[in-house]
Every structure is written in structure tokens, then in C-alpha cells.
Amino acid sequence: MTKPSSNRKKATSAVSNNLKASASSAKDIFDPENPASATITVTAAEVEELSETEERDRLHLERRVEKAFFEAGKALAELRDRRLYRSTHSTFEEYCKDRFGFERRHPYRLIEAAGVVDNLIKMCPNWTQNEIEDDPATVHSDQVQILPTSEGQVRPMTKLEPQQQQEVWQQAVELAGGKVPTGRIVKDVVQRIMERTKIPNTYQIGEVCQILAKDNPELRGKGGCWGIVNHVGEFSCTVKTWDGEYTVGLQHMKSFNYLPAECEQMQVICDRISRVYSSELEESVQRFLESLGKLNRAYLTALEEKLLRVLESEHGDEIIR
């Protein structure tokens, strides 16, 4: 047999001694004949209070954590709008997937959520997140407006009008007892409002419609653009334009009422512009393609067709028709 090491003997001896010591001290407070008479003395641990500076630092850091998704959405919107990905990627979706590991819809959800938070900040007269960031030492927790802390809490509101978003959030905060509401609470409030103002969705896949930006910040720059409906939801549609896909509420859409053949022709034009627009282009060429993305007719003029074919040929994407 293998002889146990001396270290193990010492360890066993130490454990045994500790157990004996514990048992010896336990005799004074535990009677085996009467277990119910056992007395346990608990020494209260003193909780160290935070100093005033630490309280401010804690609040400051909590706000930074809470606004992380908001800042991400704002940054992604600028990356997309300024096309700062163009030196390495042909599309915004490819860039987000390679750089951040985002699936196709996630960056757009963050962008939409940031727009909602911007709107919620405007409705409150209290401290804004920028003021908290600039001078956290002057802000107390009871002065800070209650804002969403995750994209999931905001997602149910993205298809609503700004005024409806504010109404939903106020009701959700009240239902949550004055605290940040869960996504489920927000969704329930949204559902009640949508039932109250429900509009039937009559759009069909393949239909060509015009985007009406109105006062929706998420559609900035898309007012007047046309797109192809490729998904029909209960209160919104997903519309494909020359530079991507957008989820658009019914109140921000207007059908061109094209014939089926005209819709098919616009689908072809959309695909052609999209392939060329995603390439590295001079600004003047980009503006030309963007102008095609705002056509209010179901065809290209002879000159527009010629210019588009030249661009397709330059980028190796010429389509034989």
C-alpha cells in the first residue's frame, strides 16, 4: 500500500482539531437531550455606507450602463448615414456583421431604439442623460427621469408615433410602480393602444409604395423614396429600397397603386440600383442613384437607363436583357 504523505496527515489532523474545537464550543449552546433549546448567536455584520462622492459615482456609472444600447444605436445610425463603412465593406449589414457580430436586423433595432429614447428624453422636463454625463455631481437619483435600460424595453414602441411612444412609456412606468418597466409591461401597454387605434393592413408583398417620413426620426432622409413591400405585419411593413430594408408603420406609407407588371418592373429597377449603389462611388454618382430611388413613375427614361447601364458595366454587374 502507498504510504499517505505527511502533508495529508497534517491536514487531516488540522480538520479533526477544528471539529473538536467546534464541538467543544457547541456544548455550551446545544443540548442533545433537548434540541429545541438550542441557541444560535449571530453577530451582525456592519454594512459600510457609501460616501456622498461614492453615491454620485455609483449613479454616474449606472447611467452609463443604462445608456449603453442608446449610445450604440446613435453611433450605428451615424456610421450608416455617413457610409463610414464604405472603405472596407460594400453594405452596412456586412460591416456590422464582420465588425460587431451583429445579425442583419440587430443594428437596425438599436438604431430604432435610440430614436425612441431621444423622443422620451424630450417629453420630460427633468435632467437629460447629457446633463447627467456633463455634471453628475449635481444630480440626485430622485431628479433623474426614468428611461429605458435595454433595447428590449423599447422595441414594442418603435412602430408608434412619437406622441404614442411617450404615452406608452408614462403608462408603463406607472404600472411598474415608478420604476423601469419590463419589456412585457411595455408590450402590454402598446397592445392596448394599438387595439384602440387599430388600422387594417391592406398592403401586399411586391407592392410599390412611397415612404412618408413625416416627423419620424428613423425615416430621416427617406421621405419621398419608393420601396417594395417584402413583409406584411399587423401594423407595419418591411420595405426594400435601393440602400436597404426598413420597417415602416402604415401611417408612413402610401401606395402608388401600380399594376402587377409595373410592380415587377420596379422590383427589377430596385435590384439594379441596389447592386450598383453598394459599390464605392463618387458622390455625384451616388446622388444620381438616390434620385432614381425617389422616382414617382414605374419606368426609367432613355437617358436614365443609359446611365444606369454604364454604371453596371463599370462595376461588372451589367445585366443582359
| Domains assigned to the chain | 52-196 (no CATH), 203-321 (2.30.30.30)
DSSP of 118-164: HHHHHH-SSB-HHHHHH-GGG--GGGBPP---SHHHHGGGTTS-HHH
What's the confidence (pLDDT) of residue 266? 95
What's the confidence (pLDDT) of residue 301? 94
How many CA atoms lie within 13 Å of 223's alpha carbon, on the beta-carbon side?
A: 7
Cβ-Cβ contacts under 8 Å for 270 (sequence gap 6 or more) = 227, 228, 240, 241, 242
Quick: pLDDT tens for 86-121: 888 888 888 998 998 888 788 888 998 999 998 888
- Lowest average pLDDT, out of 23-37, 138-152, 237-251, goes to 23-37
* % of the chain at pLDDT higher than 90: 24
- Lowest average pLDDT, out of 47-51, 172-176, 187-191, 197-201, goes to 197-201
Q: Which residues of 130-163 are buried (b: 16+ CB within 10 A; e: fewer)?
A: eebeeebeebeeeebebbbbebbbbbbbbbbbbe
Please provide the average confidence, as pLDDT, over all residues in the chain: 78
Q: What is the mean pLDDT of residues 19-34?
A: 50
3 vs 77 pLDDT, higher one = 77
pLDDT grade for 236, boundaries at 50, 70 and 90: confident
In the predicted structure, residue 52 carries a pLDDT above the cut 60: yes
What's the confidence (pLDDT) of residue 316? 56
* % of the chain at pLDDT higher than 70: 74
Rounded to an integer, what distance in angstroms lies between the CA atom of residue 229 and that of residue 266? Answer: 11
Q: Which helix (H) or strand (E) holds 94?
A: helix 92-100
Name the residue among 218, 92, 99, 225 with its Cα closest to residue 157. 218
Q: What is the pTM of this model?
A: 0.46
Rounded to an integer, what distance in angstroms lies between the CA atom of residue 93 and that of residue 133? Answer: 31
**Other beta carbons less than 10 A from residue 53's beta carbon:** 9
- Lowest average pLDDT, out of 56-70, 163-177, 244-258, 273-287, goes to 56-70
The position carrying cell 482539531 is 17
Classify 253 as helix, strand or coil: strand
- Lowest average pLDDT, out of 123-127, 193-197, 217-221, goes to 123-127
**Other beta carbons less than 10 A from residue 238's beta carbon:** 17
What's the confidence (pLDDT) of residue 192? 82
How many CA atoms lie within 13 Å of 166's alpha carbon, on the beta-carbon side?
A: 10
Helix, strand, coil share of the chain (percent; to 5): 55, 10, 35
Classify 58 as helix, strand or coil: helix
pLDDT grade for 131, boundaries at 50, 70 and 90: very low
What's the confidence (pLDDT) of residue 264? 93
What's the confidence (pLDDT) of residue 8? 44
pLDDT grade for 144, boundaries at 50, 70 and 90: low
pLDDT grade for 36, boundaries at 50, 70 and 90: low
Rounded to an integer, what distance in angstroms lies between the CA atom of residue 116 and that of residue 160? Answer: 9
Which triple of cell numbers denotes residue 134? 456633463
What's the confidence (pLDDT) of residue 193? 78
In the predicted structure, residue 7 carries a pLDDT above the cut 90: no
